[in-house]
């Protein structure tokens, strides 16, 4: 199996369920690998320590130990777990690839670009004119051609490898919004080296004083810790 560096690709959710019934159980039959789910949903929570894993199969709801709140009544974050499946040349699932089969390195990039984008007026009302920019008082100029980059919360990518790993170096806590630090979440791995992504703590605020919300979606100088995830994996066969 050659080294693989592949972005998540949407594949029917029912496909991995048949992995145990694949025609070949040998990893030598693996032609390429794909991350599942192609799109994962993590949810915010204000618990500093508690979290649970979100649904991983249709109709199977999570039942976190102790409930959805921690001992102090704070809401636990919902993490999303990503797995790698090996496919043969015909596109059939051979098996799930875990830390027992290969050395897996996950690289993940969390970014929040909403404040630098256009105002939201509903799904069917797209206006990409300069007049519709959020925070349009922040403008790129010849003196500062990257001024609007200060509106993007981008801590850069993080990588993680091995089973049961967590720690400060896997937190996305170096991004800022107009020089205000905004943590976006963190990475962990489970006992088999699968990726677990945890989101933010549901924090939203304004960098300007006396700046109340006036719209459900478009409020200049406001930020939150919700983000978009891009995940990749690199695999070396054991």
Q: For the ranges 10-19, 33-42, 178-187, 199-208, which has the lowest average pLDDT?
A: 10-19
Token reading at 138: 């922040």
Average pLDDT on 74-95 reads 95
pLDDT given for residue 3 in this prediction: 30
Mean pLDDT (whole number) for 81-90: 95
How much is the pLDDT for 9?
38
Burial of residue 234 (number of CB atoms within 10 Å: 0-12, 13-18, 19+) = middle
- pLDDT exceeds cutoff 80 at 19: no
Q: Residue 154 has what pLDDT?
A: 97
Enumerate the H helices of the chain as residue ranges.
none
Please compute Rg for the chain using Cα positions. Answer: 20
What integer pLDDT is reported at residue 21 of this predicted model? 36
pTM: 0.84
**Local structure of 105: helix, strand or coil:** strand
Give mean pLDDT, residues 97-102: 93
| Residue 237, pLDDT score | 67
Q: Which residues are paired to 108 by β-bridges?
A: 158, 231
pLDDT-based confidence at 221, cuts 50/70/90?
very high
Mean pLDDT score across all residues of the chain: 88
Higher pLDDT pick, 26 / 170: 170
């Amino acid at each position: 199996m050659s080294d693989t560096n592949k972005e998540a690709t949407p594949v029917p959710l029912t496909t991995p369920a048949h992995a145990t019934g694949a025609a070949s159980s040998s990893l030598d039959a693996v032609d390429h690998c794909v991350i599942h789910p192609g799109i994962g949903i993590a949810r915010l929570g204000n618990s500093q320590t508690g979290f649970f894993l979100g649904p991983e199969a249709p109709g199977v709801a999570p039942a976190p130990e102790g409930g959805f709140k921690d001992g102090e009544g704070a809401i636990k974050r919902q993490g999303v777990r990503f797995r790698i499946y090996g496919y043969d040349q015909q596109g059939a699932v051979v098996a799930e690839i875990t830390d027992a089969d290969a050395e897996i390195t996950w690289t993940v990039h969390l970014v929040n670009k909403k404040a630098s984008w256009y105002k939201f007026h509903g799904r069917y009302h797209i206006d990409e004119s300069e007049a519709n920019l959020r925070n349009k008082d922040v403008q790129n100029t010849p003196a500062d051609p990257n001024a609007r980059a200060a509106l993007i919360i981008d801590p850069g990518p993080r990588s993680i490898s091995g089973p049961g790993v967590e720690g400060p170096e896997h937190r996305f806590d170096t991004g800022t919004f107009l020089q205000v630090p905004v943590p976006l979440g963190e990475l962990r791995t489970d006992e088999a080296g699968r990726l677990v992504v945890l989101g933010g703590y549901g924090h939203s605020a304004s960098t300007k004083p006396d700046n109340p919300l006036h719209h459900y979606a478009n409020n200049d100088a406001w930020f939150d810790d919700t983000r978009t995830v891009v995940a990749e994996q690199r695999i070396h066969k054991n």
